[in-house]
Amino acid sequence: MKLLLSEIGPDGATFDGEDPVETLVWPYTERDVVRPAGPMRWHVEARLLGEELVCTGSASALFEGVCCRCGGPLSREYGDGFAVSMRVGPDQVEADLTSELRETILLALPNHPICSENCPGPAAIAPAAGEGDGEGQAGPWAALDALSRG
Ligand SMILES: [Zn+2]
């Protein structure tokens, strides 16, 4: 995200937009639990204080993958607010905030992403306690029980 310093008036300026998903420079691997699936979106409020550019706002992107709690599909927007200031030279035309916005999004990614705050957890794939114990009901735990009985 590059903003033109000439667009920032005495009262500052607001910028909204998005950059292509490639801007996140995600190192795609087979082991990704989640990966970016949409553009990097941003909202930036910029002010010029002399030679200091002060920006606040937010950045986010859509991520898709596998829920770490229930194992189901995950599709969520991750992001956060940010604040940054940088010195701008008298001949400088634009300021590049790409790395700050990218960092804001990557730092907002949880270590164990879940599909929603209402994720049902393992209950979504396994029967509740006691349900798999009856005859003829082969829950996922029944197979493990059979192995442990050897
Ligand atoms: Zn889940």
Domain ranges of the chain: 2-119
Mean pLDDT of all residues in 3-29? 93
Question: pTM score, two decimals?
Answer: 0.78
Percent of the chain with pLDDT over 90: 75
Measured in Å, residue 124 CA sits from the centre of ligand 1 at 8
Is the pLDDT at 113 greater than 80, yes or no? yes
In this prediction, residue 125 carries a pLDDT of 61
**78: its two tokens:** 């991750």
Measured in Å, residue 126 CA sits from the centre of ligand 1 at 13
In this prediction, residue 138 carries a pLDDT of 60
Measured in Å, residue 115 CA sits from the centre of ligand 1 at 4
Is the pLDDT at 142 greater than 60, yes or no? yes
Read off the pLDDT of residues 43-96 as tens digits, 9 standing for 90 and up: 999 999 999 999 999 999 999 999 999 999 999 999 999 999 999 998 999 999
Cβ burial of 138 (10 Å; 0-12, 13-18, 19+) is: exposed
Is the pLDDT at 128 greater than 70, yes or no? no
Residue 130 gets the label, from left (phi > 0), alpha (psi -120 to 50) or beta, of: left
Measured in Å, residue 131 CA sits from the centre of ligand 1 at 21
Q: How many CB atoms lie within 10 A of CB 149?
A: 6
Rounded CA separation 135/97 (Å): 62
In this prediction, residue 150 carries a pLDDT of 66
Read off the pLDDT of residues 21-44 as tens digits, 9 standing for 90 and up: 999 999 888 888 999 999 999 999
Rounded CA separation 38/120 (Å): 26
Measured in Å, residue 34 CA sits from the centre of ligand 1 at 13
Measured in Å, residue 37 CA sits from the centre of ligand 1 at 18
